[in-house]
Structure 1
């Protein structure tokens, strides 16, 4: 037992692995280079190189956050701009009242942290701004309260560059709150939240932790859901769409009359029909699509009766079809059927329809997997 302790203690000092691809490292490095250079260049043009170079240290630290950790709560625009403004004001006020002493700089840092937390704009480089302002050379302090102008200019230019660059390279910045779709317009939470992790659970866990966590609540929820998804995929043992799909596909054509489509739906006890043209999927028609024309005003019915008008599927079908590949893992289909409320998922191979998946198919596949796992666990011999 004692021989294993030194490796465990040594392991604590080893750096944790980065779960980001090298492509992301390159993207962040180029972005930080551009952001720091442009912000420093603009500040040097307006206020001179000496002022720009003196404020470059905190700006470089901010560039690391907004480009390399752009999704974190400490790297969002308000923490950057708000921390620079508050720390600049605190540092300038304490220097003018107490002088450029080391203890003054340390005090400015502590006060800045308290105020940034109070204003919900905690940003580590903001502490560097407070110290830089307190320890500024006489040439900079001669600017008086105008010293805040280059500080805010630095923050503003860096944020603008970060927004443009991150979005151009496919990174969502600033990070907004995840929108929740309410398909049924009821008071019930989404199906996944009824049996899984809820927002209140995360709030209580973060409050119980009682520490600074450089991850937002929405990000933490996404990480937990992604982890559950990976665990579910492993437990399903490689089941794919091809494993559970129905291969005898009942389909329709765009010129099929609505009455015939209704008979086909009722005859096969299905809620949706893929619409094909020469084997190519061009749309899908559901029961709700067919109910629309039936619920129109009565005068429309008289017009059809007298004029002999026959409505066809091409007039009511949905042309935006959510389809899946036959190799798609079963766990990726569950959110489509549960949360998006889809009743039928066409399955494609090389762009051709090869099957459909309904909620019944998925339930049957899950039942088969649960039974196989239960049988395997019962056959195990307990070890002594």
Structure 2
């Protein structure tokens, strides 16, 4: 009786998990895989004949499922298919040369190919099928020898080309690029603000090392999933706090015709760091900050900002302002504002409703909102 729960748990592990993709994505991937296999096989048949093309279609079909259905996986990246096909073909041809064509040499070719794909970072399951196809080749392929590399690599490159074109045209980014480090806005050695607390990149690396198993997801995608999970959890815990609730509504604005001296006077009087710039129709066309004014002063060759502004009162904000402006909608959740105001070096975010400026969220507004939320949870 004690073994029944354990047996039930073991048996339940065979039940497949639900897919987190939509039927539209299934159809997109299915059409792409069919098209990729067809085009690759037609090219191979045109160059090397029907028998060779048909004999190599097995691994081609398996690769197509990876490249079109799970293109974000580590096993589906460009080097995975090209490197695995090349490795498996060379290993299989060596097995044939030394041991002949047999089930034993075919099995050995699969094992050695797998062992080599790992350090070469080109693990790709259909590579095992390539090794089998090469060892157990038909009459038309036996006499090709090492020339068999050509049709195998032609298939890999044709299918890869189809995946690159089709996936990106259907708005699926492929291949998955490596995450670039956050821009160091302050030119210091500190990590970005969002990486100073919580889960870090080093934590992800350590977790993958601790698992010690093959994981069909790139390290970059895994970190993105973790970050997105943290974001959704924080959003749930903070409730429905929106930009429109925490923004400052009495916004001091300038126009493109405002002079630099007038802008500096406004910034000093209201203790501000930035000024939104509106046109005659009250549409946001730019933003200017103290950094912009200082930068203009340096480009003008004057060390004294006040002196420069006093000498050139005709310099207008339209010549200095930054555009386009990073904005948010009044319905944007406060969680969406955090990376903009912490990791991108922005001091404020203009808030729009139907294209019109209705307020501004500053770093101070965000800190106050987070503080109130923390007090409410502690209370």
User: Normalization by structure 1: what TM-score?
Assistant: 0.93
Corresponding residue number in structure 2 for 1:379: none
Matches within 5 A, 1:120-135: 120-135=121-136
How many Å separate the matches in 2 of 1:66 and 1:339?
33
Corresponding residue number in structure 2 for 1:258: 260
Q: 1:28 to 1:237 in 2, by over 3 A?
A: same
Corresponding residue number in structure 1 for 2:216: 214
Contact 2:164 2:174 (8 Å CA) reproduced: yes
Matches within 5 A, 1:5-154: 8-154=9-155
Question: Which of 287, 292, 304 is residue 290 of structure 2 equivalent to?
Answer: 287
Shift of 1:351: 0.5
Shift of 1:266: 1.5
Corresponding residue number in structure 2 for 1:202: 204
How many Å separate the matches in 1 of 2:291 and 2:272?
12
Question: Which of 180, 189, 192 is residue 191 of structure 2 equivalent to?
Answer: 189
* Counterpart secondary structure, 1:226: helix
Contact 2:297 2:303 (8 Å CA) reproduced: no
How many Å separate the matches in 2 of 1:192 and 1:304?
38
Residue 359 (structure 2) pairs with residue 355 (structure 1): yes
How many Å separate the matches in 1 of 2:302 and 2:152?
69
Question: Which of 345, 356, 365 is residue 369 of structure 2 equivalent to?
Answer: 365
Matches within 5 A, 1:323-342: 323-342=327-346
Shift of 1:304: 8.0
RMSD: 2.0
How many equivalent residue pairs?
Answer: 374
How many Å separate the matches in 1 of 2:119 and 2:295?
54
Shift of 1:322: 0.3
Shift of 1:78: 0.9
Deviations 1:292-328 (A, max 9, x none): 233332499999877x652111111112100000011
* Counterpart secondary structure, 1:282: strand
Identify which range, 167-176 or 156-165, moves more after superposition.
167-176
Deviations 1:97-154 (A, max 9, x none): 2122112111110000011112111111001000111111233212222112111110
Shift of 1:47: 0.7
Contact 2:261 2:309 (8 Å CA) reproduced: no
How many Å separate the matches in 1 of 2:23 and 2:158?
27
How many Å separate the matches in 1 of 2:5 and 2:331?
44
How many Å separate the matches in 2 of 1:304 and 1:220?
51
Contact 2:329 2:353 (8 Å CA) reproduced: yes
Shift of 1:261: 1.1
How many Å separate the matches in 1 of 2:115 and 2:7?
39
Shift of 1:196: 2.4
Q: 1:321 to 1:79 in 2, by over 3 A?
A: same
Q: 1:364 to 1:4 in 2, by over 3 A?
A: farther
* Counterpart secondary structure, 1:215: coil
How many Å separate the matches in 2 of 1:355 and 1:304?
28
* Counterpart secondary structure, 2:357: strand
> Which structure 1 residue ranges, 5 or more long, are not aligned?
376-384
* Counterpart secondary structure, 1:195: coil
Contact 2:278 2:286 (8 Å CA) reproduced: yes
Q: 1:108 to 1:6 in 2, by over 3 A?
A: closer
Q: 1:190 to 1:303 in 2, by over 3 A?
A: closer
